[in-house]
Amino acid sequence: MLDNSFLSVTLQIGKKRVDVNLKSLIKGGISFFLPADCLICGKSLEPLNRSFICEYCWGKVKWLTPPYCSICGRPLPSEYNCSDNSSFLCGECQVRPPYFKKAFIPTLYQGVMKEAIKLFKYKGKMGISRGLTKITRIYLDHSRFSLPELNLVIPIPLHRRKLKERGFNQAEIIAKFIAEYLNLNLVRDGLIRVRFTNSQTQLKREERLTNIKGAFKVKKGERFKRKRVLLVDDVYTTGVTLNEAAKEIKKTKAEVYVFALARTP
Ligand SMILES: [Zn+2]
Ligand SMILES: [Zn+2]
């Protein structure tokens, strides 16, 4: 049996000397080249596909297409579909318009997209973020002319207890991509989750409202004064989380826009 010291080599990289363990390098290399299966349909993935999902399945993602509410993106019945979609508002936004000006949402939270986000968020399949950021990029390219001139990107934060559990904030990964792609400032600590809230997924709208109230605080709000802020989350369900966060940011006299990867139909 060879011991580990025998398998270690020292490489000279520039002025730096790095010890490399050949055993772990070979192991890592092999798993890198082994084809894996699509986590949705089970077919083997192309060797260079590191997103855990095959191109065919990614192709089945349902994009959010008109007619939808011009503020919150809620899909509207097809009779609203005429040449100008820009002025339609859903009943909810007519009665109680949200604190944000407009939500930008590429897809519907169903089928492949729902599975992909769940695998990314709850199973820690980080490679899926490659597919999710690709969808974001396609959407941003497509809607570049309808986007307002933004200044800052702020992710919806997780409570530190949840962040510790999960190890990453999915909203921050998306927000970071958008900030880089649109050349905007990412403000990671713009919002703080001051209250631990139980998962919203099983709650009704009214319960969600009570559950989320007072959950966020703005940090150094003077940074946002008269700025256009893009608030980013992974999923738009009832919008109460994004709206509560938008309410806090708006207090700093900022104008708030919202981005979510997917919206419940
Ligand atoms: Zn597949
Ligand atoms: Zn609406």
Centre of ligand 2 from the C-alpha of residue 8, in Å = 60
CA dist 63 and 105 (Å) reads 9
Nearest to 78 by CA among 89, 66, 87, 86: 66
Distance CA 71, CA 93 (A): 7
SS3 assignment, position 49: coil
Mean predicted confidence (pLDDT) in 85-111: 92
Contact between 260 and 136 (Cβ < 8 Å): no
Residue from 171, 142, 172, 151 nearest 226 by CA? 151
Residue 75 Cα to ligand 2 midpoint, Å, equals: 9
User: What confidence score (pLDDT) does residue 87 get?
Assistant: 76
Centre of ligand 2 to C-alpha 179, Å, is 25
**Which DSSP string corresponds to 180-197?**
HHHT-EE-TTSEEE-S--
Q: 104 C-alpha vs ligand 2 centroid, how far in Å?
A: 12
What's the gap in Å between 212 CA and the centre of ligand 2? Answer: 20
d(CA 68, CA 84): 11
**H/E element holding 231?**
strand 228-236
Q: For 169-264, where are the alpha helices, taking DSSP H only?
A: 170-182, 205-212, 240-250
Q: What does 117-136 look like in DSSP terms, one character per residue? A: HHHHHHS--TTHHHHHHHHH
Q: How many CB atoms lie within 10 A of CB 184?
A: 18
Q: State residue 227's pLDDT score.
A: 97
What percentage of the chain carries pLDDT values higher than 90? 69
Centre of ligand 1 from the C-alpha of residue 108, in Å: 18
31 forms bridges with which residues in the sheet?
A: none
Ligand nearest to the CA of 61: 1
The pLDDT value recorded for residue 16 is 52
pLDDT at 102 over 70: yes
Cβ–Cβ under 8 Å, residues 199 and 165: no
Q: How close is the Cα of 54 to the center of ligand 1, in Å?
A: 4
Give the torsion sign (CA, 242, 184, 171, 66).
Answer: positive
What's the confidence (pLDDT) of residue 8?
58
Q: What is the mean pLDDT of the chain?
A: 87
Determine the 3-state secondary structure of 224 from DSSP: helix
Of residues 250 and 33, which shows the higher confidence score? 250
Domains defined along the chain, listed by start: 55-263 (3.40.50.2020)
User: 141 alpha carbon to ligand 1 midpoint, in Å?
Assistant: 25
pLDDT in tens, 104-162: 999 999 999 999 999 999 999 999 999 999 999 999 999 887 899 999 999 999 999 99
pLDDT tens for 191-241 read 999 888 777 777 777 887 888 888 999 999 999 999 999 999 999 999 999
pTM of the model: 0.84
Position 19 confidence tier, pLDDT thresholds 50, 70, 90: low
Q: How many Å lie between the centroid of ligand 1 and the Cα of residue 40?
A: 5
Distance 19 CA to ligand 2 centre (A): 57
Average pLDDT, stretch 21-38? 57
Report in angstroms the alpha-carbon separations of 75 from 57, 67, 87: 23, 6, 14
Instruction: Determine the pLDDT at residue 4.
Output: 44
> What proportion of the chain, given as a percentage, has pLDDT over 70?
85
Predicted local distance difference test score (pLDDT) of residue 82? 57
